[in-house]
Amino acid sequence: MVLLRNIVFAIVFYGLSVPIVLTAPVSALFGRRAVMRHATAWTLFHRWAVRHLLGIRVRVEGERPAGPAFYAAKHQAMWETLELQAMLDAPAMVLKRELADIPAWGWAARRYGAIVVDRDAAAAALRGMMRDAEAAKAEGRSILIFPEGTRVQPGETPPLKPGFAGLYRLLDMPTVAVATDIGRLWPRKGLKRPGTATLRFAPAIPPGLPRRQAEAAIHAGMNALEEQDGRGDAPL
């Protein structure tokens, strides 16, 4: 049954995602709002496919600020990158330059308002990232970053990359850590399993904290589920 779910999900979601993604540059021709709506439609389709085809439910814990905020999320699977896009009302997402350099799609991502980060960035590139972030804030959008820098396995708690501290200091926004345990059900390799994943929003920390204090609070909030094995993974 699990294998069948994975096959059907792959056929339906990835099959329909190809034309959705390929037509994103067309939406981008009509401006930022158009490509944001395009992206949200895709992520809502992903939400439907995950729930009804894979049998993965989502438990949301914690409360979010009423207005725009800076979100720092755990990254264990493709799932949270799409789910948070819909849940946070199309935030400006910090994106690796390798993705932003993909022909056509990368241009659409920039039109969406992605904040491009270069891992080997010179000072000028970092200033460009900061300008993008300030522009997103000026538009009244939330900003989303995966500050560990890469996808990690459940139980892994690497330190935050330096870009988080720079954006935290610059943005002067309430900052929210987001934890998830989706990696238990959505492994890097192997079959995705039905069950219940948790997405937990930690209490927001205020702007202006010392760097070490802010990083410690966000790191702890992002990893709040890492030692809670066996949460809600009964098959559906």
Which pLDDT score is estimated for 123? 64
Higher pLDDT, 99 or 60: 60
Residue 235 pLDDT grade (very low, low, confident, very high; cuts 50, 70, 90):
very low
CA angle 47, 184, 96 (to 5 degrees): 65
Question: In the predicted model, is pLDDT for residue 4 greater than 60?
Answer: yes
| Mean pLDDT, residues 152-177 taken together | 93
Which pLDDT score is estimated for 125? 64
Q: What is the DSSP string of 66-124?
A: SS--EEEE--SSHHHHHHHHHHTTS-EEEEEHHHHTSTTHHHHHHHHT-EEE-TT--HH
For 95, the token pair is 């994106």
Which pLDDT score is estimated for 221? 97
Percentage of the residues of the chain whose pLDDT score is greater than 90: 78
How far is the C-alpha of 165 from the C-alpha of 117, rounded, in Å? 14
- What values do phi and psi take at 93, rounded to 5? -105, 135
Q: Pick the range with the lowest mean pLDDT from 71-85, 117-131, 171-185.
A: 117-131
Question: In the predicted model, is pLDDT for residue 141 greater than 70?
Answer: yes
Taking residue 186's Cβ as centre, other Cβ atoms within 10 Å add up to 23
Higher pLDDT, 90 or 116: 90
How far is the C-alpha of 19 from the C-alpha of 175, rounded, in Å? 35
Predicted model pTM: 0.91
